[in-house]
A and B are shown apart, each in its own frame.
Chain A
Amino acid sequence: MLEVQLSAKPALFGAAEGLFGTKDASTAGIVLTASTQSTILQVLSPPGATGVAEKLQAWVGAEGAGLRPNGPGNWFVVCDAQPPRESLEALSKTLEGRAELLDQSHGRTRIKVSGPKVTQMLAKGTAIDLREHQFAPGQSAPTLFGHISAQLTRVSPENFEILVLSSFALSLWDSLIVMGREFGIQAHC
C-alpha cells in the first residue's frame, strides 16, 4: 500500500514569483504580494442579533485590524499580526450570545494586489463596479473572482486585498499573474 506522508505547508508554497510581462520592476503596473502571517477570524451571528457590527468596528479600530462584511450576520476580521489573547477573549465576551468567533487563519489566505493598473486588471476577474465612487476605499464585498469565490476589499484607491480559501489561493495566484501580465506584474509571497 502506498504510504502517504502528510505535511503542513503554506497555502502559497511553490507559487510563481518574480517579474512577468516586464523586465524592469519600476515599470510594473501591478504588484502582487501575500500576507501569510495574518490572523483571520470569522464572525457568525444568528438572525436578529443586534449591535454586533458596532462592537466589531470598535474592536478592529482599537486593534488596527480590518473588518470585512461577508453577508448578513457574517464578517471576517483580519489582523496583520496575532492579537493579544486577552484582547480576543474580551471580544469573545462582548459578543457572547450574539455572535461566535472562529479562527480561520489556517483556512483563508490574504492576497494583496496594488499598482496603477489594479482596477483594470481586477475587472477581468470580478463583476463588481470598481470605479472609486461605486467601490470606495474601505469597502469590502464577497464576489466571484473568475470561478473562485473570494472576498474583495479596497484598502486604498490602488490597493486591494483578496481573501480566499487557502486551497484555492495558488490557483488564484496563477490566474492573477496571467491577468496582470499585459500591465507588467511583480509577484512575491
Chain B
Amino acid sequence: MASLITCPHCGVRPKEEFTIRGDASVTRPSPEADGEVWHAYVHLRDNPRGLHKEYWHHTSGCRRWLVVTRDTVSHDVIDVSDAGALA
C-alpha cells in the first residue's frame, strides 16, 4: 500500500489521514439503465495488477476528494489530483 500521498492542497501526508473509496474509473449508469449494468457498477470490480486509479478522501486534512493513481505492484504513487476536476 502506498504510504505517502502528496495532497495537491496539503502536501505530503501519510495514508492514515485518508479514507479510500475505491475505483475511480467506473462511471455511474443512467437511472434507466438495465439491472445488469447497475449490478456491474455497484458490485463488480477488477483487482488490477499495476496501475490503479482510486478515489481517496483527505478526511483528516482538507476534506477534499482526490483521485490517486498508484501502482499496486511497486506501491509508487504516480499522480494525485483533486477530484473536482473530473466532475
Contact = CB atoms under 8 A, between A and B. Distances in A.
Contacts of B14: 127
A114 B36 CA distance: 60
Given A47-B84, A129-B12, A141-B11, A74 B17 contact: no
Contacts, number: 41
A166 interface: no
A68 B11 CA distance: 16
Contacts of A144: 16-17, 60-61
Q: Which of B9, B12, B58, B64 has the most CB of A within 10 A?
A: B9
A142 interface: yes
A47 B61 CA distance: 18
Interface residues of B, number: 17
Given A71-B9, A127-B13, A143 B62 contact: no
Interface string B46-68: 00000000000011111110000
B64 A72 contact: yes
B84 A142 contact: no
A71 B13 contact: no
Interface in A123-149: 127-129, 141-144, 149
A143 B60 CA distance: 6
Given A47-B84, A71-B63, A72-B64, A142 B16 contact: no
B86 interface: no
Interface of A: 47, 70-72, 74, 127-129, 141-144, 149
Interface of B: 9-14, 16-17, 58-64, 82, 84
7 contacts: A47-B84, A128-B11, A129-B12, A142-B10, A143-B10, A143-B60, A144-B17
Given A128-B13, A141-B61, 13 more contacts: A71-B10, A71-B58, A72-B82, A127-B13, A127-B14, A127-B16, A141-B10, A142-B10, A142-B63, A143-B17, A143-B60, A144-B17, A149-B60
